[in-house]
Each structure stands twice: as C-alpha cells, then as structure tokens.
Amino acid sequence: MSDPAEQIENGTIRKISDKHCVYYDGYWIRYYAPPEETLAEKKKLIESLTRRTFHHTEPGINTPGERLELARQAYREETDPATKRVKGAMLAGALFNRGTDIFNAVVTLASKGVLISEENELMKMCGECLKEALDYGRLVKHYSGEEGIDELWGEPFKAFSMPMAAFYESRYLKIAQAMRNIDHISDYMARIFEAQTPFKGIGPRLMELAETAKQEAETIRSDQAIFDIWPRFVAALEAVEAFGPRIPADIDESGRNHIEHGRRLLRAGSDIINYVAGARVPMPKTTKGYVDQLENYVRHTT
C-alpha cells in the first residue's frame, strides 16, 4: 500500500523497485499498457477473459454457443429453484460462448478486408449475447460454491463495450479491491490466531501469503515475472497449510477439538486468499462468512 500521508491520484504511474506500477485506491499495482484499440486485440482480450471466467466458476456451465436455444428452453421449462439456478448458469455459459463466437467471426471477416461497423447486425447480436450472459451471470457461482462471482463474469461484456484503456482502468480498480480483501482477511487471521497460544508464530507466514497473493493477483500469466511470483505464492500457501499448532500434552478432548477447529479455519482462510488472488475480484460474502466463523471461534476459546 502507499503512504497514507501522500496524496496520489488514481492512474498515477511510477517505477517502484524496478517495477512499473499504477496507483489505484491505496495500492501500487503492476502496470500493463492497454493493447492497441483494434478488433484483433479486442478478440484476444475477450478470449482470454472468457477462459479465465470459466476457470474460476462452477463446473459444467461452459455450454457451447450452438446449444444456446436448448439451454434457453431447459431454463424456461424448469420449475425447481435449485435446478433452475444451475440451468440459468448453463444458459449464461451458452450466451457467453455465442457472443464470443460471433465476435470471432467478425474479426475473421475484418482480417479478409470486410469492414464491419458497430451498427452491423452481427456486432449488435454479439453485444446482446454478452449483455444477456451478464444478466444471467448472477446465477453463476465461484468454483468453491461459496458465492456468486458476477463481477468476474461481466468482464468480457465490458471488454466488448468499452475502449481498451477504460477497461484496463476498471480492472485496476477491481485488483485494488481484491488486494484490500486479501489484506483484510490476512490481518484478521493473524490477529486472531497469534492470540491463540497453539498458533503462536503463524503471523509471519500469513503476511508472506498476503504479500505473494497480491503479487499473484496483479501479474498476468504471460509476464516472465510469474516464474518468480507463482512459486513464492504456492510456497507461502503451503507453509500456512502445513503449520502445526502446538498441542499441550495435558489438554482434554474438548480443548483438542477446539485447536483442530482452529486448524481447519486457518486452512479455510488461506483458501479464500487463494480464491481472491486467482479471480482478481473481491469476495465480500465469502469474507464476511469467514470472519463470522473466526469471531465465533474466539467466543468459544477458553
């Protein structure tokens, strides 16, 4: 984070420790210049965002675009609320893929010299599919099942409808929010667990996890820096997961169960940090539920 005494405007770019960074909402984030404003570059961006979205959402919803009408019919005819949610998520996937298919066709035509304006019927259909996918995206859950992740789901539509520079700015804002989410969880975990004698010493491991998680969130996979950042992040994650609380020899069964519960909560917290770093968007519902569990754990500490 930046020095709170220094007034810095969002969008300020600086070189910090040999890394080009951009400032948003209290955080210096690894900077990547937006691509050239062309259909081909927009196509690559949308394809990348589409792959990433399906990677971080629940399985079974990556419905091919050519099955759109079947998915729509299945959703309309379903009456059971739980099943209808999943069918709605599958419909969102089909709409998502149909929009991407259309945009790919437009770029292919453009590469052959066929100019397609934004008012063209194909471009309108593409936008409508991605927008409708965004509407149904509220039904889609993160692969953990913890909560919906519609902010991530909406990114391909934003990339389609916004100039590249504006889209990148929106991403930096979301990454800053994700970083704040990571700091909030890790700080809370460190404060809670360091106060528990069996977990004394976990604080530095949690701080290393938070720092590497934020670096993972800000770094794209094609950046060669990932070869240093990803291993450090995984090692930090494994170090927290491997932490063994000290269990007194004379402890009773109730105390032992309480410590074991704390170990499970520690693992759950590291999982959430991993989720947020990977998705690069905050997960407020999951975070609140976890903080509530930690507070309940403290209340039952003897």
The tokens for 77 are: 């005819």
Residue 150's pLDDT is what? Answer: 72
Tell me, yes or no, whether 119 and 155 share the same domain.
Answer: yes
Question: DSSP letter string over 135-163?
Answer: HHGGG-BBTTSSSB-HHHHTHHHHHHHS-
Does residue 86 sit in the same domain as residue 198?
no
Fill in the DSSP letter of residue 25.
T
Distances (CA, A) of 16 to 20, 22, 23, 182, 287: 6, 10, 11, 21, 30
Note whether residue 133 is domain-resident.
yes
pLDDT score at 89: 94
Rounded CA-CA distance 94/113 in Å is 29
131 lies in the same domain as 189:
no
Please check whether residues 103 and 180 belong to one and the same domain. no
Three-state secondary structure call for residue 249: coil
Report pLDDT for 86.
96
Q: Which two tokens stand for residue 50?
A: 């589409």
pLDDT of residue 2: 56
pLDDT of residue 64: 95
Half-sphere exposure of 260 (CA within 13 A, CB side): 7
Count of residues in the chain? 302
In a domain? residue 103? yes
Query: What is the model's pLDDT at position 157?
Result: 84
67: which 2 tokens? Answer: 């099955």
Q: Of 102, 130, 161, which one is at a domain's C-terminal end?
A: 161
Q: How many domains does the chain have?
A: 2
Which residues have C-beta within 8 Å of that of residue 185, sequence separation ≥ 6? 210, 269, 272, 273, 276, 287, 290, 291
Q: What is the pLDDT of residue 51?
A: 87
pLDDT along the chain (302 residues), means of 10: 71 92 96 91 88 89 95 96 96 93 87 79 89 89 80 82 92 96 96 92 96 97 94 97 88 88 94 94 92 90 66
How does DSSP assign 268-283, residue by residue?
Answer: HHHHHHHHHHHHTS--
Residue 29 lies in a domain: no
166 in any annotated domain: no
What integer pLDDT is reported at residue 110 of this predicted model? 81
Within a domain: 257: yes
Examine the domain organization and report whether 97 and 148 are in the same domain. yes
C-alpha torsion sign, points 259, 261, 267, 273: negative
Q: What pLDDT is stored for residue 4 in this prediction? A: 57
Query: What pLDDT shows up at residue 134?
Result: 87
Question: Do 180 and 156 lie in a common domain?
Answer: no
In a domain, 203, yes or no: yes
Listed in order, strand segments (DSSP E) in the chain are 13-16, 19-24, 27-30
Residues 116 and 186 in one domain: no
- Which residue range forms the structural domain that includes residue 233? 175-299
* Burial 167-186, CB ≥16 within 10 A → b, else e: bbbebbebbbbbbbbbbbbb
Residue 23 lies in a domain: no
- pLDDT of amino acid 106: 86
End-to-end CA distance of the chain: 36
pLDDT tens-digit readout, 147-176: 777 777 778 888 888 899 999 999 999 999
Residue 263 inside a domain? The answer is yes
Are 57 and 149 in a shared domain?
Answer: yes
State the pTM of this model. Answer: 0.87
Long-range Cβ pairs for the range 123-130 (8 Å, 24+): 125/99, 126/99, 126/102, 126/160, 127/99, 127/157, 127/160, 127/161, 128/99, 129/95, 129/96, 129/98, 129/99, 129/102, 130/95, 130/96, 130/99, 130/156, 130/157, 130/160, 130/161
